[in-house]
Amino acid sequence: MKKMFNGIMSAIMFAYTIYRVLTTIIFLPFTESIFSRDGLYFGLLVVIAAASTALGFTNRRRLSGFLAIAVGLLSLAWWLSLDIGMSFRIWPDFYWFVIPELCFASAGLAKWLTAAQSTPSEELQSNLSRMVDTKQRLT
């Protein structure tokens, strides 16, 4: 059950990373330069999300979760910094620029918590069983 849960969380993180890469590459050049303040922000989100997603497939799930939470907090801080100076709330920007990042952060946090619950002996046992299975298939 834990593996299936981690698989679903990994799929959410992977889907967000693809979403963020495509929106940054396709739509950002129509609105402003890649090297503008906003362009650098979205580029940073892509890099952190890609690193977090890649680390999520290794034994570094805690670091992956930390980076995912950083993406969520960074997006929320970015939106608040834009929103504070305005006389009205820009909710559509919240829906497009914060909610997906918070979903990504939630998936990363869930993977982090499931990694914290597993004991080293469980991981060692699973690695040993995979090695034995691989050796049996090779012989």
> What is the pTM (predicted TM-score) of this model?
0.76
Extents of the domains making up the chain: 2-138
Report the pLDDT value the prediction gives residue 48, as an integer from 0 to 100: 96
- Residue 32: CB atoms within 10 Å: 12
**Element of type H or E holding 30:** helix 28-31
Q: What is the pLDDT along the chain (139 residues), one digit of tens a residue?
A: 788 888 899 999 999 999 999 999 898 889 888 899 889 999 999 999 999 999 988 888 888 889 999 999 999 998 888 877 777 777 777 888 899 999 999 999 998 888 766 555 565 666 667 777 776 777 6
Q: How far, in Å, CA of 85 to CA of 102, rounded?
A: 23
pLDDT at 125: 67
pLDDT of residue 45: 93
CA distance linking residue 127 with residue 121, whole number of Å: 10
